[in-house]
């Protein structure tokens, strides 16, 4: 079989990556999808069980920090395009230990850029770098992040992602590498590791454990269903302009406390609990250091130029998400056994 493209998706065993791999493997049978993942605590091949035997799917366990491994994979599969998601992705972990974030997010990204530059001497290629809105810093009560908003990262995580975005742009200007960048707001959906707000709260509500809200719970995030993020990446990868950035977001701002209360009410209904029962689990804990106040995305560029918009409301997406966690207790049990217990103790034991 000759493949129309050999697309390397990095971080394909993670939360967003697994949704993207699934979308591409099923929608584009004429592309071969090579999923490269180190399988850190956040990577899980169970996320891809339903597509792992497809002819156009291959998995390669590798570390983007190791350039030799990347060269071998580019060579073996004649990689034509890259969609780069592999990263350390959790702000709280970056506060505890920034160096892992520098290695994977900065050094790993520069390795990939260099290998792509050296391998792609001719033909048509795309290097799509998947990034976050957190590179723009923190908003006050008004305003939205636009593609032209100056970078102002404040956490070690966002500083590492901002640095990787700068390198991607530098490779476009300096070496003409055909790059595209997307900066997305907070994602939620199935298969998200329960260190992030929504799956952590769902899991704790189910288990009747305290619901740790940082500070007063008045920080604001703009939430997008992960499947809509994957669809936006698909649009940008195929139709976006080389050298440009696209913001992706849901125009869906929620204060953390309101969101957690909404989840409590939804789960009270689903679990047949008394109304208000789960809300009693809410516990205000010590705030995150350097906690960004508000993120909100202006997604008008991708809407106007590429015709993308979210396909579900937040209420619909959250219901699908909660149902998935309730139906997949084995998944949650597996990822929260072992190391997760140590992580949870370390991060939350001294917070209240």
Work out how close the CB of 272 gets to ligand NAD at its nearest, in angstroms, rounded to a whole number.
31
Contact 84, 112 (CB under 8 A): yes
Residues 274-293 that bind ligand TYD (CB under 6 A): 288
Q: How far is CA 186 from CA 89, 115, 228, in A?
A: 11, 30, 12
Residues 217-256 that bind ligand TYD (CB under 6 A): 219, 221, 256
Work out how close the CB of 76 gets to ligand NAD at its nearest, in angstroms, rounded to a whole number.
17
How many DSSP H helices and E strands does the chain contain?
A: 13, 12
* Residue 13 lies near ligand TYD (rule: CB under 6 A): no
Q: Which is nearer to ligand TYD, 194 or 240 (CB)?
A: 194
Residues binding ligand NAD (CB under 6 A)? 10-11, 13-17, 37-40, 42-43, 63-65, 85-89, 104, 108, 130-132, 161, 184, 186-187, 193
Q: Which is nearer to ligand TYD, 149 or 219 (CB)?
A: 219
Site string for ligand TYD, 293-312 (x = CB under 6 A): --------------------
The DSSP line for 92-107 is: HHHHH-SHHHIIIIII
Tokens of 30: 């004429």
Residues 200-219 that bind ligand TYD (CB under 6 A): 200, 212-214, 219
Work out how close the CB of 91 gets to ligand TYD at its nearest, in angstroms, rounded to a whole number.
4
Sign of the torsion angle spanned by Cα atoms 14, 86, 129, 5: negative
The DSSP line for 20-45 is: HHHHHHHH-TTEEEEEEE---TT--G
Q: Which residue is nearest to ligand NAD (CB)?
A: 14
Tokens of 164: 């990787």
> By CB neighbour count within 10 A (0-12 exposed, 13-18 middle, 19+ buried), where does 170 fall?
middle
User: Quick one: DSSP state of residue 6?
Assistant: E
Look at residue 35 and give the partner it binds from ligand NAD, ligand TYD, none, a contact being a CB closer than 5 to 8 Å depending on partner kind. Answer: none
Look at residue 40 and give the partner it binds from ligand NAD, ligand TYD, none, a contact being a CB closer than 5 to 8 Å depending on partner kind. Answer: ligand NAD
Q: Which residues are catalytic?
A: 133-134, 157
Q: Which of 64, 65, 91, 113 binds ligand TYD (CB under 6 A)?
A: 91
Q: Which is nearer to ligand NAD, 193 or 246 (CB)?
A: 193
Work out how close the CB of 214 gets to ligand TYD at its nearest, in angstroms, rounded to a whole number.
4
Helix residue spans in 78-138 (DSSP H): 91-96, 99-101, 109-119
Look at residue 193 and give the partner it binds from ligand TYD, ligand NAD, none, a contact being a CB closer than 5 to 8 Å depending on partner kind. Answer: ligand NAD
> By CB neighbour count within 10 A (0-12 exposed, 13-18 middle, 19+ buried), where does 285 fall?
middle
Q: Which is nearer to ligand TYD, 215 or 243 (CB)?
A: 215
Contact 91, 154 (CB under 8 A): no
CB hemisphere CA count around 39 (13 angstroms): 11
Contact 179, 129 (CB under 8 A): yes
Work out how close the CB of 106 gets to ligand NAD at its nearest, in angstroms, rounded to a whole number.
11
* Residue 186 lies near ligand TYD (rule: CB under 6 A): yes
Look at residue 212 and give the partner it binds from ligand TYD, ligand NAD, none, a contact being a CB closer than 5 to 8 Å depending on partner kind. Answer: ligand TYD
Q: Which is nearer to ligand TYD, 125 or 288 (CB)?
A: 288
Q: Which is nearer to ligand NAD, 80 or 132 (CB)?
A: 132
Work out how close the CB of 30 gets to ligand NAD at its nearest, in angstroms, rounded to a whole number.
25
Helix residue spans in 104-242 (DSSP H): 109-119, 156-175, 197-207, 226-239
Contact 298, 247 (CB under 8 A): yes
Applying CB under 6 A, the span of 6-14, 21-29, 194-202, 332-340 interacting with ligand TYD comes to: 194-202
3-class state of residue 17 by DSSP: helix
Number of residues that bind ligand TYD (CB under 6 A): 12
In the complex, the residues that contact ligand TYD under the rule CB under 6 A are: 91, 186, 196-197, 200, 212-214, 219, 221, 256, 288
């Amino acid at each position: 079989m000759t493949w129309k493209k050999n697309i390397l998706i990095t971080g394909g065993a993670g939360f967003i990556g697994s949704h993207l791999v699934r979308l591409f493997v099923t929608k584009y049978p004429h592309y071969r999808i090579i999923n490269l993942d180190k399988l850190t605590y956040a990577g899980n091949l169970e996320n891809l069980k339903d597509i792992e035997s497809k002819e156009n799917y291959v998995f390669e366990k590798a570390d983007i920090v190791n350039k030799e491994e990347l060269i071998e994979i580019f060579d073996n599969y004649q990689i034509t395009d890259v969609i780069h998601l592999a990263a350390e992705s959790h702000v709280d972990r970056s506060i505890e230990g920034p160096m892992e974030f520098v290695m994977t997010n900065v050094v790993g990204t520069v390795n990939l850029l260099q290998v792509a530059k050296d391998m792609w001497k001719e033909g048509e290629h795309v290097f799509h770098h998947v990034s976050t809105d957190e590179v723009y810093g923190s908003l006050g009560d008004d305003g939205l992040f636009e593609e032209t908003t100056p970078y102002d990262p404040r956490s070690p995580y966002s500083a590492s992602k901002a640095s990787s975005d700068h390198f991607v742009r530098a490779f476009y200007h300096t070496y003409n590498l055909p790059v595209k960048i997307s900066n997305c707001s907070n994602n939620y959906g199935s298969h998200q590791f329960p260190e992030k707000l929504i799956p952590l709260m769902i899991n704790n509500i189910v288990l009747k454990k305290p619901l740790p809200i940082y500070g007063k719970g008045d920080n604001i995030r703009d939430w997008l269903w992960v499947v809509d993020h994957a669809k936006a990446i698909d649009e940008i990868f195929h139709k976006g302009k080389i050298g440009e950035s696209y913001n992706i977001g849901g125009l869906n701002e929620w204060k953390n406390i309101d969101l957690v209360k909404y989840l409590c009410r939804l789960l009270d209904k689903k679990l047949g609990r008394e109304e208000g029962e789960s809300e009693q689990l809410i516990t205000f804990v010590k705030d995150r250091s350097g906690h960004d106040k508000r993120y909100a995305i202006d997604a008008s560029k991708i809407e106007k130029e590429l015709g993308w918009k979210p396909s579900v409301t937040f209420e619909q997406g959250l219901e699908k998400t909660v149902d998935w966690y309730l139906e997949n207790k084995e998944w949650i049990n597996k990822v929260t056994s072992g190391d997760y217990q140590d992580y949870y103790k370390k991060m939350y034991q001294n917070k209240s």
